[in-house]
Structure 1
Amino acid sequence: MIALLAAVVERLVGYPHWLVDRIGHPVIWIGRLIEAQDKRLNDPEASFDGRKMRGVVAIAVVVLAVLIVALGIQSLLRFLPFGWVVEVLLASSLIAQKGLRDAVSDVARALGEEGIEGARRAVSHIVGRDTSELDEAGVSRAAIETLAENTSDGVIAPLFYLALFGLPGAAVYKAINTADSMIGHRDERYEAFGWGAARLDDLVNWIPARLTAVLFALAARGMPGADGDAAWAAARRDATKHASPNAGWPEAAMAGALGFGLGGPRSYAGETLDLPTMGEGRRDLTAEDIATAIGLFDRAMMIALGALAVWALAGVVL
């Protein structure tokens, strides 16, 4: 029930910007803990294997600290008359459904109202790639790819662990995912130290990524112009081409569902990477196509909420 209510609250309200300004956000607090471990343990003079072990210790400290705090908060709230309300609000902060939708919608709006320069600025807030040279199709693909991938690790994964393990499960997932985004890079500083965080993130996202692909395929079946069978076929065919063992599943499923061609070459820090394509459809995408992708996202979220409702009802009955 907590997962269902948290999803509804987050979908309607999100995490207000004024609250971020006043007290921050759980991801910010977790990020500070990760930064502290990075400064304390990531010794550039240590051997590769030594830095690898230090990174494992760092992610273990972060996960254990977040787990202890979350368990403590949950235990305390269970003794309060309306503690479940606070638990729902806290859990909703670990989901990014509304924030993701709004950010991607801003890109489509910018394309229509501000032109390519405004759209580049808008999409730069949600992607890590270079955006200064992107045309309309490049901006649109970047927004849609981000929507697909973050549906998995920003929405479905935290809901999955929230439903299974309550507030501690969602909090620990968020800690692992945040650590991966901060230190799970393949560069000189983090290739060894971030190895543990990256591998753990791969593990915890394995099921949610594939669930997200299924949700997109199901959502496409009831959507005019979309194709559920093509969504699943594209996911099975193209997902394993992706460098990540998980990110390709939702991206390929969305591409197949809507007849888009996603992925392909992109630039990071001035270096062009020749990445595989997801889907076999057209690549000259527009703001209208972003809106279509958001429509598929909305349908997938309704299916997810329905599944959570069934889960909650089953828990009450049993």
Structure 2
Amino acid sequence: MRALAIGTGLVADRVFADPEQHHPVAYFGTWATVTERLLYRDSTAAGVTHLLVTVAPVALAAQWLHSKAPTLTTAATLWIALGGSSLTRVGEQVATELSAGHIERARTWVPWLCSRDPQQLDDAGIARAATESIAENTSDAAIAPLFWAAVGGAPTVVVHRCVNTLDAMVGYRNERYNNFGWAAANLDDLLAYVPARLTAGIHTLCAAISGRGSEAVRAWKEDASAHPSPNAGPVEATAAAALGVQLGGPTIYPHGTEQRPRLSRGPKPTADTVRAAVRLARRTQLIAGVLAVLFSAQRG
């Protein structure tokens, strides 16, 4: 029945767009903001408390609903958690605007993908930001929910989605959140560890099919470890190899510029690279979805 639930959630993500209003993740974000105002202190202990107070009630509610209707709740929570279709639609929009030379329009889509400052990006910078974000978010917003649905159904899907959302809100290495966001950031890294390597493995398989498998393996082994994120590194390095481009370099955020390591070898990304990244994301999601269904069916 879990295999059926995962299949249903995948189909729902393809057929039905994310609700523009009353999205459960948005409600969770509001809840997290309220608890942050009440609990914020510049300490890791306060951050741990915030994490528990914010996530635990939602996780317990998911566990209770799952005990009553496991198939329905797993399908519903997976649909809510999956962001793969929305991600690829935004990627297509970026590629279309870049190809048409509409840089300003392309910039408006950048915040949908990442937190970089779009006004500081030229067409090459937008293409690189989109390519890197599509690769990383494929792991976070598609492969990780599928993995956790196969492992534990609705409760684990909800825990991962909540922690991942919380990390996006407070998991920054800056003056305000370096201590307070430590718990959310590290737990998110832990929950994403296996899904990220599953994503990188699928990227490597796709690279091998196109004759770039050895470069994907090399980039994973030699380049990924220099990335500040233990999970984004393997995902982006193998995606770069599969796409035949080089990622990394100066990365402009509202708070300043960070120097990211060079990942793989090749030319800079272009609008065509963004389209190829969308295709790679779809193939990766399809393969991971099949694996999740087969794994759940085998367990059943």
Q: Shorter-chain TM-score: what band?
A: over 0.9
Paired residues, number = 297
Q: Name the Cα RMSD after superposition.
A: 1.7
Q: Is 1:60–2:52 an aligned residue pair?
A: yes
Which stretches in structure 1 are left out of the alignment for 5+ residues? 79-83
Moved more, 245-254 or 230-239: 230-239
Check whether the contact 2:147–2:292 (CA below 8 A) recurs between aligned residues.
no
Say whether the 8 Å CA contact 1:235–1:256 is kept in structure 2. Answer: no
Aligned partners of 2:185 and 2:130: how far apart in 1? 24
Match of 2:160 in 1: 173
Instruction: Check whether the contact 1:37–1:58 (CA below 8 A) recurs between aligned residues.
Output: yes
Percent identity at matched positions?
36
Match of 2:207 in 1: 220
What does residue 266 of structure 2 align with?
281
Q: Deviations over 1:131-168 (max 9, x none)?
A: 21322211111100000000111111111111101001
1:13 corresponds to which of 13, 16, 39: 16
Q: Is the 8 A contact 1:218 1:300 kept in 2?
A: no
> C-alpha distance in 2, partners of 1:210/1:276?
19
Unaligned segments of structure 2, at least 5 residues: none
Matches within 5 A, 1:37-48: 37-43=35-41, 48=42
2:108 matched to which residue of 1? 121
Distance 2:187 2:286 in 1: 29
How far apart are 1:86 and its partner, in Å?
5.7
The 2-side partners of 1:72 and 1:241 are apart by 42
Please tell me whether the aligned partners of residues 246 and 266 of structure 2 are also in contact (alpha carbons under 8 angstroms).
yes
> Which residue in the other structure is 1:36 paired with?
34
Separation in structure 2 between the aligned mates of residue 266 and residue 148 of structure 1, nearest angstrom? 16
Partner residue, 2:76 = 89
Counterpart of 1:239 in structure 2 is 224
Q: Which residue is 1:312 aligned to?
A: 296
Query: In structure 1, how many angstroms separate the alpha carbons of the residues matched to 2:162 and 2:124?
Result: 34
Among candidates 46, 53, 62, match of residue 70 of structure 1: 62
Aligned equivalents of 2:92, 2:13: Cα separation in 1? 17
Amino acid in the other structure paired with 1:75: S
The alignment status of 1:104 with 2:96, answered yes or no, reads no
Query: Over alpha carbons, which structure has the higher Rg?
Result: 1
Helix, strand or coil: the match of 1:235? helix
Give the equivalent residue in structure 1 for 2:143. 156
Q: Indicate the residue corresponding to 1:137 in structure 2.
A: 124
| Equivalence for 2:280 | 296
Of residues 21, 24, 27, the one that matches 2:25 is 27
Q: Does residue 204 of structure 1 match 2:191?
A: yes
CA contact (8 A) 2:146 2:288 kept: no
Give the Cα separation in 1 of the matches to 2:146 and 2:267.
32
Which amino acid in 2 is paired with 1:20?
A: E
Give the Cα separation in 2 of the matches to 1:281 and 1:114: 23
Q: Judge which range, 95-104 or 272-281, deviates more.
A: 272-281
Q: CA deviation at 1:247?
A: 0.9
Calculate the TM-score normalised by the size of structure 1.
Answer: 0.88
Answer 1 or 2: higher relative contact order, Cα 8 Å, separation at least 6. 2
- Cα 1:122–1:206 shift into 2, 3 Å: same
The one-character-per-residue Cα deviations of 1:59-97 (angstroms, maximum 9, x if unpaired) are: 01222112111012222335xxxxx34642332111111
Structure (1 or 2) with the greater helix fraction: 2
Distance, in Å, in 2 between the alignment partners of 1:85 and 1:69 is 14
Q: Deviations over 1:96-134 (max 9, x none)?
A: 110111111110011123521111222233221112132
| AA matched with 1:63 | V
Of 137, 140, 147 in structure 1, the residue corresponding to residue 134 of structure 2 is: 147
How far off is 1:219 after superposition? 2.2
Runs of 4+ in 1 over 6 A off after TM superposition: none
